[in-house]
Amino acid sequence: MLTSLLDNDFYKITMQNAVIKRFPYAQARYAFINRGEHHFPDGFGAVLRREVDKMAALRLSNEEKRYLQVTCPYLDPTYLDFLAGFHYDPSEVIIEQQGHDLSVVIEGPWYRTILWEVPLMALISELWYQLRDVIVSREDDALVEQRTRDKIELYRRLGLKIAEFGTRRRFSFAIHDRVVGALHHYGGEAFSGTSNVLLAMRHGVKPIGTHAHEWFMFHGARFGFKMANSLALEHWVDVYRGDLGIALTDTFTSRVFFDSFDKKFAKLFDGVRHDSGDPIDFAAATIAHYERLGIDPLSKTIIFSDALTPEKVERIQTFCQNRIGMAFGIGTNFTNDVGVEPMNMVIKMVEARPEGQDWLPVIKLSDVPDKHTGDQDMISLAKRVLSLSRASV
């Protein structure tokens, strides 16, 4: 089902490069989290196992390597040579099915295992429909391009910048490809690119992404919760020297992040990404933070990327217009708007083993308490260390 090493989100590649540079001996463990309590059909795990085993044959082509060289000059030749020699090791993925319950665990060197999350989720999502004989009606199939066109033309009329972030929970690769094609064809300047590197290359658009929660989660395990945000940002700057300058805010709540996002980082980074909690509250807090630091919010950008719909985007634009720069990353609403229910699932890093240390649980303290992930004892410890009251988190 997967045909290219680049059928992955761009921030997995940028983080892999950073991990190789900063933490080459770190180990990581990831787990599938079935938030929607989906019941998997008999044999699902076996089919997924076969697809994962096939991924061992994927290699970066010469054409793909040249594309990265030209498009991403901040990825140095040593990393691109590494990626050209990289292949997935299916033994790093343990898949078990008990009745209708599916367990997927990934374990191994962080610089290798970091690439599994997104393609595995894409496989699980596509197989979820295939093995349950869920098909797109002819009417819905015929409307894929039209629905995409209607959305991007609305955003274009509003003068917004929109990126596509929908690899994980897409209905299928074929639908995803058609959606990106329609966005490129009808979006004009409103369409800024896609997180999927293969489709960015195929359609001649920009690959979009910087880093994810796991970058900060690992720093929490390695350096402690108090230092996690500031050192994660510092190490990112060390690797990319001003490129890829959007900072993710909500690994240990945005309130804690802004305590570390001092004038140095606020000036160095082009902006921040919102991924949980009320977007209007977040925008107000971000604007106030920049103003306290004497920085014009209009010189910075918020990337909104949390379960966006056209209605939600319009509400955010109304609030942010002429107050702060804004752009939007839209995922499932683009790539799985075909008349079926999208899956509710994630794959998250759950443990890390920094060099010279034992395995430690890693956690995420979302701006929405129901989305906290990780070991409950470690979550409680982090709340105490970070002075987060029960009422606020």
Output the six-digit token pair for 365. 């303290």
What is the C-alpha radius of gyration for the chain, rounded to an integer number of angstroms? Answer: 20
Mean pLDDT, range 213-226, rounded to an integer: 98
> Cα(340)–Cα(322) distance, rounded to whole angstroms?
37
Provide the angle, in degrees to the nearest 10, between the axes of the packed helices 376-385 and 225-240. Answer: 90
How do 246-248 and 271-274 pair as beta strands? parallel
Return the percentage of the chain with pLDDT > 90, whole number: 96
3-state SS, residue 386: coil
Arithmetic mean of pLDDT, 133-150: 96
Read off the pLDDT band of 393 (50, 70, 90): very low
pLDDT of residue 173: 98
At 300, phi and psi to the nearest 5?
-120, 170
Predicted TM-score (pTM) of this structure: 0.96
Instruction: Please name each of the domains of the chain with its CATH number.
Output: 10-134+345-362 (3.20.140.10), 138-209+245-335 (3.20.140.10)
pLDDT in tens, 59-93: 999 999 999 999 999 999 999 999 999 999 999 99
DSSP secondary structure, 20-33, as one string: HHH-TT-EEEEEEE
Please state, in angstroms and rounded to a whole number, the distance separating the CA atoms of residues 157 and 146: 16
How far apart CA 382 and CA 377 sit, in angstroms, is 9
Mean pLDDT of 250-268: 97
Across 141-145, 269-273, 389-393, least confident range: 389-393
- Taking residue 361's Cβ as centre, other Cβ atoms within 10 Å add up to 19
Which pLDDT value is given to residue 357?
Answer: 95
Cα separation, 139 vs 157, in Å, equals 27
10-67: pLDDT as tens digits = 999 999 999 999 999 999 999 999 999 999 999 999 999 999 999 999 999 999 999 9
Q: What is the pLDDT of residue 391?
A: 45
Average the pLDDT over 278-294 and give the result.
Answer: 98
Q: What is the mean pLDDT of the chain?
A: 96
CB of 280 closer than 8 Å to CB of 315: yes
